[in-house]
Amino acid sequence: TLRMLVPVLLVLSFCLRGRAGLAPHFLQQPEDQVVLLGDEARLPCALGDYRGLVQWTKDGLALGGERDLPGWSRYWISGNAASGQHDLHIRPVELEDQASYECQATQAGLRSRPAQLHVLVPPDPPQVLGGPSVSLVAGVPANLTCRSRGDAHPTPELLWFRDGIRLDGAIFRQTPLKEGTIGSVESILSLTPSSHDDGATLVCRARSQALPAGKDTAVTLSLQYPPVVTLSAEPQTVQEGEKVTFLCQATAQPPVTGYRWAKGGSPVLGARGPMLEIVADASFLTAPVSCEVSNAVGSANRSTALDVQFGPILQAKPKALSVDVGEDASFSCVWRGNPLPRVTWTRRGDAQVLASGPTLRLPAVGPEDAGDYVCRAEPGLSGRGGGSAEARLTVNAPPVVTALHSAPAFLRGPARLQCLVFASPTPEAVVWSWDEGFLTAGSRGRFLVETFPAPEGLKGQGPGLISVLHISGTQESDFHRGFNCTARNRLGEGGTQVSLGRRASASFSKQKNLVRIPGSSDGSSSRGPEEETGISKDQGPIVHTDHSDLVLDEEGALETKDPTNGYYKVRGVSVSLSLGEAPGGGLFLPPSSPLGPPGTPTFYDFNPHLGMVPPCRLYRSRAGYLTTPHPRAFTSYIKPTSFGPPDLAPSTPPFPYAAFPTPSHPRLQTHV
């Protein structure tokens, strides 16, 4: 029997374990729900292996165990209780139904998880203050206010739309009630309307989760605006001097009250209506015509510039340049014209076009690039305008020194050597040097240096200087040595060698006291052929005297024939000539010695003296005659016992012309 009880006990134990696995439990529990106000809410609840009492609680308050829930007219429990279905229904849902609900199996001590019921209240249609038509002024900032009232839940958002497009930038504001609930919400749209907004429709939409599509309220804009102006010209493209008509049209609310015309900001006198006729010129291209139209709200202005075609006008001339050798040079000139003028660059005296456009660039210039450069613009289609402008390029380089022709000199007589210096920048010094010395200015023994501006410089090579080396009492060695003329500036130095030529002895004519100086290039004169009898053509210029004939031999000794037949002693005569032909027929003469009167011009034109009556008439060196400046040059009344070479007193200066301050002939002097 014991063996039979063991299996029975095992079966009972197994059965008891199976009965324990069928304890009451939830098959379905309620979950959070969102229900629109007025709709029905259903909270499900299902239990397994439970046959006892089931009830629902609202925020912890029991609703009752009956299926129809007495006292809660809108609440009931549905489902097959035998199968454990106990669903809670609420219809219609009101705002007060928003709470936390639980399903409880009281006898089994079971409670479901809480389920939150949310009740949504859709918003009412919003209201736009001042609608349905709002009056605004164009150009004046304004605010449109949209307001939503009621117990909408959740709080709605207010949106603005125009032509179906959402407008951004509105300000949202809520107004709470005293109890802490939301009383109303507002949305303020700020805008600055224009005349184009007249008649436009704006929509304010109240939208929330309770009403995703939202509710709309429309408002129409009614605008007052100043004139909207359009300005046209006919024709738009004109030649200078042609007539053009401007037409000013405007729309406005309220209507237009007046027109005002201006050109380049200055009123056009006499123009009152919407039309203006005027003759066009080049100024219309940069001075537009404007039309101002007014009404009670304000005024508006429109302007237009004509396409006036005119010939080139020079706006900015090229400027002179001074650059060092090897550097780049750039010129620019500005021409104004319509159409844009064609500008070309050339070098003065050369037709080759160097560049086109407003700028000329010369890379790494050399001395050969110095000169005048011309920018030229051709006349326009009308034949008007155009022209040229030029600027000089100075190339800074070491000095260029050139030896000028120097007349041959007598032995023991005066001599003059000269060189021409061109340099930019101006030379710091011009130096004459020879075997035993050098001299830059002033005098030293038999030598004197004078430097003065040349009458005209070479184009672009800077100012010219003429430096003259005077020799008083030439010696034999002077004709066999070289004299160096050297100039220097910050860029370097240049120089040349000048030699002194020797002149044959002078001969004196007995006919009318004419003294011919050998070496003249032209023997013509105004004296007539009878005065030149026996005189060779290349013997040199003649000096007129009122005294007896003089003969100067090669050694420089001056032999005289006594014009007073022994009554007076003529001790000697010295003639100093410093002549050189200048452009235009004048003579290059060095400035007066420091011993002479100040302010003597460096370039003296003797042409005004050519008509003077002798004995003070002076001819060009090429003409061949030079008049002795003073008829009383021989004034010693000592009867000579013999005739010999002149003996100069110790106080006699080495340069005779410097001691005789005759204003009109500073380079010619005789001494007795």
pLDDT at residue 638 is higher than 80: no
pLDDT at residue 498 is higher than 80: yes
Residue recorded with tokens 């289609």: 381
Encode pLDDT of 415-443 as tens digits. 999 999 988 888 888 999 998 889 988 89
Residue 10 DSSP SS3:
helix
What integer pLDDT is reported at residue 354 of this predicted model? 93
If you average pLDDT over residues 464-478, what whole number do you get?
92
What integer pLDDT is reported at residue 461 of this predicted model? 59
Q: Could you tell me the pLDDT band of residue 626, with boundaries at 50, 70 and 90?
A: very low
* Exposed e or buried b per residue across 526-547, where buried means at least 16 C-beta atoms within 10 angstroms of its C-beta: ebeeebbeebeeebbbbbbbeb
CB 391 within 8 A of CB 360: no
User: Which of 325-329, 352-356, 504-508, 564-568 is least confident?
Assistant: 564-568
Helix boundaries (H) for 578-654: none
**How would you write 69-84 as a 3-class SS string?**
CCCCCCEEEECCCCCC
pLDDT at residue 621 is higher than 80: no
- State the burial class of residue 121 (Cβ atoms within 10 Å of its Cβ: 0-12, 13-18, 19+): buried
CA–CA separation, 324 vs 396, rounded Å?
4
How far the first Cα of the chain sits from its last, in Å, is 194
What integer pLDDT is reported at residue 367 of this predicted model? 87
Residue 36 DSSP SS3:
strand
For residue 332 the two structure tokens come to 């620019």
Q: Output the CA–CA distances (angstroms, integers) from residue 235 to 18, 114, 230, 249, 280, in the order listed.
A: 109, 85, 16, 17, 11
Residue recorded with tokens 């002179």: 320
Size of the chain in residues:
672
Encode pLDDT of 110-145 as tens digits. 899 999 999 888 888 888 998 899 988 888 899 999
If you average pLDDT over residues 298-319, what whole number do you get?
90
pLDDT at residue 187 is higher than 60: yes
User: Which of 282-296, 339-353, 372-386, 388-402 is least confident?
Assistant: 372-386
For residue 307 the two structure tokens come to 């396409």
Q: Helix %, strand %, coil % for the chain, to 5?
A: 10, 45, 50
Rg (CA), the chain: 61
Q: Output the CA–CA distances (angstroms, integers) from residue 180 to 45, 48, 175, 177, in the order listed.
A: 35, 45, 10, 5
Of the CA atoms within 13 Å of residue 20, those in its CB half-sphere come to 6
Mean per-residue pLDDT of the chain:
74
CB 256 within 8 A of CB 248: no
What integer pLDDT is reported at residue 230 of this predicted model? 94
More confident residue, 140 or 553: 140
CA–CA separation, 371 vs 331, rounded Å?
13
If you average pLDDT over residues 556-569, what whole number do you get?
37
Amino acid letter for position 79 = G
The beta strand positions in 138-194, using DSSP E, are 142-149, 157-162, 165-167, 171-176, 182-191
CB 595 within 8 A of CB 656: no
CA–CA separation, 577 vs 633, rounded Å?
16
CA–CA separation, 157 vs 163, rounded Å?
19
For residue 185 the two structure tokens come to 């919400």
Long-range CB contacts (within 8 A, 24+) of 490-495: 490/425, 490/428, 491/324, 491/325, 491/396, 491/397, 491/398, 491/425, 492/397, 492/398, 492/399, 493/398, 493/399, 494/398, 494/399, 494/400, 494/401, 494/421, 494/423, 495/401
